[in-house]
Amino acid sequence: MFAVIQTGGKQYNVTENDTLKVEKLNGEVGDKIKLDVLLISDGDKTVAGTPTVEAAEVVAEILAHGKGDKIVVYKYKPKKNERKKQGHRQPWTELKIVSIKM
């Protein structure tokens, strides 16, 4: 059984016991959260939502929070002596898919 979920403006194809890193979510480590299900399939039957499948439920557990690698954003305008250097680290949340129910 697999499902397509949406979180953080992105879509992920997941099965039970998968771990994935998504955009930062509110919650503490160990909390269980429910995710929006766009499509669910158990092999024979596939149900697509409009936009979500109301009867389906995907439960995930928060394993960790963290930040990604640093990227450097450097802007400049030639011949004007304008320079701006800025760093960014994108926060993420690691999830483990606990159960998928139809």
| pLDDT at 11 (0 to 100) | 96
- What is the predicted pLDDT for the residue at 78? 97
Mean pLDDT across 73-93: 97
pLDDT at 88 over 90: yes
Burial class, 5, CB count within 10 angstroms (exposed 0-12 / middle 13-18 / buried 19+): buried
Quickly state the pLDDT bin for 9 (edges 50, 70, 90): very high
Q: Read off the pLDDT of each residue in 19-45 and give the average, rounded to a whole number.
A: 95
pLDDT above 90: residue 4: yes
User: Is the pLDDT score of 43 beyond 90?
Assistant: no
Q: What global pTM score does this model have? A: 0.84
Report pLDDT for 33.
Answer: 96
Whether the pLDDT of residue 102 is over 90: the answer is no
